């Protein structure tokens, strides 16, 4: 069955993940308030095409609590969706395996990439291309197992995320084992 959770806003999930991460990571940065304000102001140019990259200024307890509330709502929607299914299958990445792209520079702790990645013939922001499928479940806390499902014509691996119900990790691993028996896509690397 091809379906997605009703009312689950992936764009909001990306932003919520970014904001929570920024407030948790940023709270440990030995950064002066002016530098944080500068990251917020000037960094908007870099963030406009990457909803995952967020800088919250000023980072207050109320803003943090608001993002945690949004996270709880997204968790609840995903939990209700998975009540009707054993697992959710979704991509790991927007493309098959690719060579690492070094950053063009850094803005504070954040890596900056000027060049996007080609996804279906269009350039997509590096952060969006790399983390949009995985950060959703990092945010909600649903267990995920990644397994190969095939290869490209060039022999590059293609994976799938198998997402399970929260607190049902062992059941998820059983499903992954069953899928692996059907798909048989794992190829032992030469020399191992």
Each residue's pLDDT tens digit, 16-32: 999 998 888 776 666 66
Low-confidence ranges of the chain (pLDDT < 50): none
pLDDT at 39: 67
Contact 87, 163 (CB under 8 A): yes
Half-sphere exposure of 150 (CA within 13 A, CB side): 6
Q: Which two tokens stand for residue 65?
A: 């609590």
Q: List, edge to edge, every strand of the sheet that includes 144-151.
A: 88-91, 157-163, 144-151
Q: Backbone dihedral region of 123: left (phi > 0), alpha (psi from -120 to 50 degrees) or beta?
A: beta
pLDDT at 176: 97
pLDDT at 45: 60
pLDDT tens-digit map of 121-147: 998 888 888 888 999 999 999 999 999
Contact 144, 165 (CB under 8 A): no
pLDDT at 114: 80
pTM of the model: 0.86
């Amino acid at each position: 069955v091809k379906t997605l959770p009703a009312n689950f806003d992936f764009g909001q999930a990306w932003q919520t993940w970014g904001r929570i991460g920024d407030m948790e990571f940023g709270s440990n940065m030995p950064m002066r308030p002016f530098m944080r304000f500068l990251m917020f102001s000037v960094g908007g140019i870099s963030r406009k095409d990457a909803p995952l990259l967020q800088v919250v200024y000023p980072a207050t307890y109320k803003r943090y609590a608001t993002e945690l509330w949004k996270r709880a709502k997204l968790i609840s929607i995903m939990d209700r969706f998975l009540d009707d299914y054993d697992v959710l299958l979704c991509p790991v990445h927007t493309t098959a395996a690719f060579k690492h792209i070094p950053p063009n520079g850094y803005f504070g702790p954040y890596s900056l990439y000027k060049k996007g990645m080609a996804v279906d013939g269009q350039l997509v922001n590096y952060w969006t291309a790399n983390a949009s499928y995985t950060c959703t479940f990092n945010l909600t806390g649903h267990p995920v197992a990644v397994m190969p499902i095939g290869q490209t014509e060039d022999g590059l691996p293609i994976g799938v995320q198998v997402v399970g119900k929260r607190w049902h990790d062992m059941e998820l691993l059983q499903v992954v084992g069953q899928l692996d028996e059907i798909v048989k896509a794992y190829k032992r690397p030469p020399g191992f």
